[in-house]
Structure 1
């Protein structure tokens, strides 16, 4: 259920410009962290040290964007004193930016583990799971940003449901790796690095879900952070 630009139309043309710039900066930051996730996973799976280093360096750009957008949110609230849906938009963006920055942090952790594995030697197991779950959470991040760009409640809810699937995939992969470590103690250090990567990916899925919860708050004015999927779905259906 897309709501187009209904949140971005005001009598004040400058207010329209401020909100559009704010939204566009979030999407730029989102595009950067989406690429960070994909590059971090690729660096690990391919054993690409240059790509891993690039992910780590680009995290500084993500941090700078977070600060810029935070300042913009503060300025819009101070100058425009937004109310109702406008205030929800600015508040939701401020929260989303924190989740995007955390996704960048988790991507950097994956890149660090990729570099460590290059030094220690490739892990004997877990790369298939990393690629699979990495692709899954990467799509979640992409769709969460799309839901924000289009104020699309249905897409936001679909991403929230996907987080359950990622949790199941993560737990299954971890059990498999623990079993392998018990069978081959020599692999423990390298397998632990892969497990930290899987943990980072699972957290990225959590942050994608959080972004979608902020989208629902932005559009509906309801906080669904601790609501069940069933209650959230009923809220959306009443739109």
Structure 2
């Protein structure tokens, strides 16, 4: 089956995930801190180079995950390709990523913050740590105000700013959202959109997006196309 072209629409955030062929370390091995620090440095450099506004990010032993808005259709592919070249040259030889990176378009105003919560909660979901803020290599600590080492990488989305009128209020409200987690139905929709490489949003958003996206934004209906009964009757 031919693979789908990259899905892109102007000014729409994307959730992106690229998995490594071989993890930097097993979850229960010592954390590869130096390698994760290097990955962060490369990510910050390439995000600046390709002008991708990064709203959320996560580096784990086995993957790179991003939530960001690219300036054009080529920016995110170039960013991931650049990271792959840097990793191959400076960290490990041979193939870096297990397959093409996955991506999904995310509706602002409705799904952006839940998707950010989903991304930053992965270290808990995957049993690295017991709280999202406890994993240093993600945007969770910045968004909750517990650690500001990596602030320079982030460009907060307006949806995050809507959580409060002051930095303290936003951080406190977002910390509550992280602690509460997501309903399983929301997590499933986010995960399905990412792994299917579709758009995630409500019907009105999806209807508008169909005219602006670079390809089909949702799976085609199963089964054969329905016949036009009026036309058939006229034959």
**After TM superposition, is the score higher than 0.5?**
no
TM-score by length of 2: 0.30
TM-score by length of 1: 0.30
